[in-house]
Structure 1
Amino acid sequence: MTTKSFLQPLDRIAIAFMLLLSVLIGLLILQGDVVAARVRDFSWQNQQIGAEDISFTLTFSRPMDAKSVEDNLKIDPPLAGKVSWSGRRMVYTLLTPAPYGTNYKVELQGAKDKFAPPEDKKRVIQPFLGQFTTRDRVILYIGADQEDKGRLVLYNLTQEQKTVLTPKELVVMDFKAYPDGEKILFSARASNNQDLLSAKVYTVTTGISAKVGASATTAGLIELVLDNKDYQNLKFDLSPDGQTIVVQRGNRKNPSDFGLWFMPANVPSGEKPQPQRLQSQPGGDFLITPDSKAVAIAQGQGAAILPLQKDASKPLDFLPQFGLVQSFSKDGSQAAMVKFNTDFTKELFLVTNQGTQQPLVKTTGSILSCQFDPASPTLYCLLTQLVSQAQYIEQPYLVAIDLKNQQQKPLLVLPVEQRNVQMSLSPDGLALLFDQVVPETNTSKPSANNLKTDEGEAIATSSLWLMPLLPISDAAISTIKPEKLPLIGFHPRWLP
């Protein structure tokens, strides 16, 4: 009599498979975990960044030993920064904006898994190589030669390419760049009209795309934003987020109807934006705040901060001792404000959102403009000093003010006759642009399309200059010399 087997063929196969799987698991346990960690995501991979981009993230497939990652992370060219962690994600925050016109590589190798034994050389990260680039160094200016007279010109310093954005029929008077650099908001009058109060407001495309690989629009596409039929468009500003336009307007038929209007800066194609009157007291010079939600305006005997809404009769804040806001820091925590003294001098103050007011500089001349350095606690200012009381002759000069100790470092003294100077600080804080306007001396035969300064003085020609602002010692400051650019124009501005 034979013994009947209780195991069916399928049972024997299953048992054999389980035994084999157990052996394999045992071998894996004996051998250890050899799956190497890797970078799953690099937030700036193949991206183009600007000054507003201040941090990137590396996301890992496994928990990492933080010190080994930080010790082995290499950025070429180097970018100083600080590291923070959230689980498997590392955030690298730049201390200063990345210099423009540069290609960067991010390399990581030799970093260890968080749970790897110190002697285990198999648990290191898979080598990683990432790359990104910064925007080209691009400037904008109003042409002053015969060919580009009064036209808005874009010049790419990185690629040495020039693009004329506006037609000969328009004489550009002022302009502001959108934060992505893809469009410019500008005011212009007709070339056959000398009336400085006849400006209309337009946008024009630059042909530059803020995103790598994205198809850029054609340069020079113009759209009318605001006409001058019923109101004169005097001054305007574009909010830092590029969403709101504020325009100072005056009624053509009723001079007492004068004040600020605001409107959306971006509307669907084919739709016309509708400006709204800011119900508030009339004022003078104005500037939109860094949060894009309010406007600072010289009003009465001080400076008022008005909300960007229809009813702005109640200011958010009022500073009676200051008559003008020159500039805000990028985060809005500081402002450069001007005080007009009874002895006819002007004084520049650093005012913080904590209520402190620190005097910086006092001058018998004018405080023309100031800009905060995004890379260091420095304020760059264009000032004038009165050199002749009788004829009221002013000499302009550039100065850097250290906001930590209020020390002044003179950068450049400009000729006495160069009163109509304008400057612009690069978005990475590494260079200053300024112009040198030559006034027209022969005014016996005025041309219909004569270029004019903000004060109405005719312009014969103008040169553009670039001054590097690399970190320097006090002893070396006099060795920095501005470079004359091979461009003829005025009112220079950096593209963001």
Structure 2
Amino acid sequence: MMERFSPTPDLWKKLSLFDRTVGAIAIILISLIVVVLLRGNQSPLSVTQYSWRNTNIGAQTQALTMTFNHPVDPGKIEAGLTIDPPLAGKTIWQGRRWFYSLTEIPRYGTNYQLSLPLPAMVRGRGEQDFTSVITSRARALVYIGVGGEERGRLILYNITNPQQPQKIILTPRDLTVRQFQIYPQGDRLVFTATDPTRRSGQQNIFTVTTGINNLNTQTKILPGKLERLWENQDYDNQRIALATNGSTLVIARQNVQNPADAGLWVAPKGDSPRPLGIKADQFIVGPNGNFLAVTQEGGVGLIPLTPNAGAPQFLEAMEQALDFSPNGKELLLTQQNPDFSHSLVIYDLQDRTQREILRGPYPLLSCRFDPRSQPRAYCLQADFIQREGEPVQPEPYLAVINLTDGQTRPLLALPNYPEVDLAIAPDGLGLMFDQVATGPSMGSHDLLTNSQRSIVDGRVWLLPLPGDLATETDADPDPQELTAGFAPRWMP
């Protein structure tokens, strides 16, 4: 029969000093572990990771994430969070990590005060409330100047403090800017400009820094740092379109020696341009850089720019692509009907289905989606009026259109200015437009409208967009003149 082993005091005495020491340490450690397990985590509850530190939030901000140093009660954390002014969101938990997913766009030019009274979820003292001041992105715009030292130059105009707006001239005097686009973080602009070191009237592509850094507010970036892109004297770069996420730049080019060699080129981020083999005067790029919408004979073509975008599509009878929705899933277009009327159409790029929003005798000149969740767009429409002894003239007006039922509410008449440039603020709370005066050509360095008319003067206006403008009960907003200039764009 096997004997059962049992330690005796004599056995402990027989162990060496080293073995007894190791055994004692092991017993002490085991005792400490047991005490910790029985008493729980005594460290103060704290936030170990916070995604909004040293950054400015904006329309591209999707969520706040926090990680805690030990398990918490989700209900208590959610109930304790306060943000002033309110910023709506919904919560998702992954263990100790908390995702506060925003359901509304932060208001630009605003400081938010976040407070989280960390509950007493562990015994002991020293727990502290978590507080943070969150700064949203600046309420600012960029435009092309029309007078004095600003003429033909890019101007950054910060209107976060309306009583003390700030202007910065970004480009040198010897470049006449034709067109520009803004990269998604607002740190750089890409633009075309006539270059005095090249052939008369030839346009090259440049980038310039704005001095704004929305990703890390502790890093200093100086404005006005200029860089020429893709040194190539064979082509005139006439128009550009940049994806909202900055991934893709599309360029309309023409060979200066052979005008028949003209078409669209695409430059994915970090790569040199390559020709697409497509000619087009009017084109827009989807916000994710997946699709290019081009106006062609007989309709609008949808050209995939990435492998996952699928096959090319052609939308017959469409007149013009107006705007992609902020998520890139829908496209607003105008369509000419057999009875010569014109329709506003919304096209679903995933389902490849289209729906008529409204129909009228005249085409819409331009439209912009509201970036907020409301299904509406702000459009420039026109009535054509013939007065005695005068030719038929378009009389544009700005309207808000409900994209669900097609209800239209006129907001503002814009007489005598058929070429108005519309820009919706990234938070949806303002609309900018320009009004220009044109005259005879003044030379190769003229400022030009889209129809190539020479710009003599221009004004940039701001139309506030508070409340639900789709209802007739709200008073019409009053436009405010901001500055002299044209082609305004909101900083993202």
**TM-score relative to the length of structure 1:** 0.84
Shift of 1:346: 2.9
Please list every run of 5 or more consecutive structure 1 residues that lacks an aligned counterpart in the other structure.
268-272
Opposite residue 370 of structure 2, the aligned amino acid is: D
Equivalent residue for 2:280, pick from 253, 263, 283: 283
Q: Is 1:107 the equivalent of 2:106?
A: no
One-letter code aligned to 1:380 = Y
Give 1:405 shift.
Answer: 3.1
Which whole-Å CA distance do the structure 2 matches of 1:86 and 1:205 have between them? 39
Q: Secondary structure at the match of 1:382?
A: strand
- Match of 2:480? 483
SS in 1 for 2:186: coil
Determine whether 1:296 maps to 2:298. no
How many residues are paired up? 472
Determine the C-alpha separation between the residues in 2 that align with 1:425 and 1:102.
18
1:192 touches 1:449 (CA, 8 Å); kept in 2? no
Tell me what 1:54 maps to: 62
The aligned residue for residue 6 of structure 2 is none
Per-residue CA deviation, residues 237-273 of structure 1 (Å, 9 max, x unaligned), is 1223323321112233434322211224546xxxxx4
Amino acid paired to 2:294: I
Indicate how the Cα distance of structure 1 residues 88 and 405 shifts in structure 2: closer, same or farther if over 3 A, else same.
Answer: farther
Structure-2 separation of matches of 1:128 and 1:394: 58
Please list the CA deviations of residues 340-363 of structure 1 after superposition, one character each: whole Å capped at 9, or x if unmatched. Answer: 234544321111132332222334
RMSD (CA atoms)? 3.5
Give the Cα separation in 2 of the matches to 1:30 and 1:446: 86
- Partner-residue secondary structure (3-state), 2:411: strand
**2:382 equivalent in structure 1:** 384
Deviation at 1:335, TM superposition (A): 1.0
Conservation of the 8 A alpha-carbon contact between 1:179 and 1:242: yes
**SS of 2:75 mapped into structure 1:** helix
Distance 2:68 2:106 in 1: 24
Q: Does 1:155 align with 2:152?
A: no
CA contact (8 A) 1:37 1:123 kept: no
- Write the distance in 1 (CA, Å) between the matches of 2:371 and 2:104: 7
Look up the equivalent residue of 1:56 and give its one-letter code: L
Whether 1:262 aligns to 2:262 is: no
Shift of 1:57: 0.9
Tell me by how many angstroms 1:479 deviates.
4.0
SS state at 2:238 partner: strand
Partner of 1:63: 71
SS at match of 1:49: coil
Match of 1:432 in 2: 431
Q: Secondary structure at the match of 2:280?
A: coil
1:55-204 to structure 2, matched below 5 A, reads 55-109=63-117, 111=119, 113=121, 126-158=128-160, 160-190=165-195, 198-204=202-208
Are the counterparts in 2 of residues 199 and 228 from structure 1 also a CA contact under 8 Å?
A: no
Amino acid paired to 1:44: W
Question: In 2, Cα distance between the equivalents of 1:265 and 1:13?
Answer: 64
Give secondary structure in 2 for the equivalent of 1:97: coil
Aligned CA distance change for structure 1 residues 237 and 32 (closer, same or farther; 3 Å) = closer
Q: Distance in 2 between matches of 1:163 and 1:230?
A: 33
The DSSP-based 3-state class of the residue aligned with 1:237 is strand
Where in structure 2 are there 5+ consecutive unaligned residues? 1-9
Kindly state the Cα deviation for residue 37 of structure 1 after the two structures are TM-superposed: 3.0
Q: What is the SS of the residue equivalent to 1:291?
A: coil
Identical residues among aligned pairs (%): 35
Alpha-carbon contact 1:363-1:385 (below 8 Å) kept: no
1:43 correspondence with 2:40: no
Question: By how many angstroms is 1:97 displaced?
Answer: 1.6
CA distance in 2, matches of 1:231, 1:110: 62
**Structure 2 counterpart SS, 1:70:** helix
Q: Deviations over 1:267-291 (max 9, x none)?
A: 6xxxxx4x321134x3341112222
**Counterpart-to-counterpart distance in 2, 1:365 and 1:49:** 40
